[in-house]
A = this chain, B = another copy of it.
Amino acid sequence: MATLGATKKHKVTIVGSGNWGTTMAKLVAENVKAHPTLYEETVQMWVFEEEVTIPTTSRHYAPGSSLANKPQKLSQLINTVHENIKYLPNITLPPNVIANPDLPDSCKNSTILVFVLPHQFIPRVCDQLVGKIVPYARAISCTKGVDVSESGIKLLSESIGMRLNIYCGALSGANIASEIAQEKYSETTVAYDPPPMDSRNPTPKGSPTSSQVDLISPSKAVPSARSARLKALPSEYPPLSHENVRKLFHRPYFHVRMVSDVAGVSLGGALKNIVALAAGFVDGLGWGDNAKAAVMRVGILEMVAFGKAFFADSVHTSTFTEESCGVADVVTSCMGGRNFRCAKMAIERGESVFEIEKKELNGQKLQGTSTAYEVNGFLKSQGMEADFPLFTAVYSKHILEGNVKPEQIPDLIERKD
Enumerate chain A interface residues (CB-CB to B < 8 A).
Answer: 173-176, 179-180, 184-187, 252-253, 255, 257, 282, 287-294, 296-298, 300-301, 318, 321-324, 327-329, 331-332, 335-336, 409-411, 414-415
Contacts and interface: CB of A to CB of B under 8 A. Distances in A.
A296 B174 CA distance: 11
Contacts of A175: 290
A324 B297 contact: yes
A67 to B, nearest CB: 32
Q: Which of A174, A185, A255, A301 has the most CB of B within 10 A?
A: A185
Interface of chain A, helix or strand or loop or mixed?
helix
A275 to B, nearest CB: 12
B293 A174 contact: yes
A291 B186 CA distance: 5
Nearest to A176: B290
Given A292-B335, A294-B328, 8 more contacts: A179-B287, A179-B288, A185-B282, A186-B288, A186-B293, A252-B414, A293-B335, A296-B331
Given A179-B288, A289-B176, A301-B322, A294 B186 contact: yes
Contact of A332 (B185, B293, B327): B293
Contact of A287 (B185, B336, B411): B185
Given A327-B297, A328-B293, A252 B184 contact: no
A255 B411 CA distance: 10
Contacts of A415: 255, 257
The 9 residue pairs across chains A and B that have the minimum distance between CB atoms? A186-B290, A321-B321, A293-B328, A174-B293, A187-B294, A293-B331, A179-B288, A185-B410, A297-B328
Nearest to A255: B414
Copies of this chain, count:
2
Nearest to A180: B290
Nearest to A179: B288
5 contacts: A179-B291, A185-B410, A187-B297, A255-B410, A293-B324
A414 B287 CA distance: 36
B289 A336 contact: yes
Nearest to A414: B255
B185 A291 contact: yes
Contacts of A329: 293
A252 B174 contact: no
Given A252-B411, A331-B331, A184 B297 contact: no
A174 B289 contact: yes
Contacts of A323: 297
A129 B292 CA distance: 39
Given A187-B294, A324-B297, A289 B335 contact: yes
Contacts of A294: 174, 185-187, 255, 324, 328
Nearest to A184: B287
A65 to B, nearest CB: 34
A293 B255 CA distance: 13
A173 to B, nearest CB: 8
Contacts of A289: 174, 176, 179, 331-332, 335-336
A308 to B, nearest CB: 13
Given A185-B282, A410-B255, A179 B322 contact: no
A176 B288 contact: yes
B296 A328 contact: yes
Contacts of A282: 185
A286 to B, nearest CB: 8
Contacts of A324: 293-294, 297
Contact of A409 (B185, B287, B318): B185
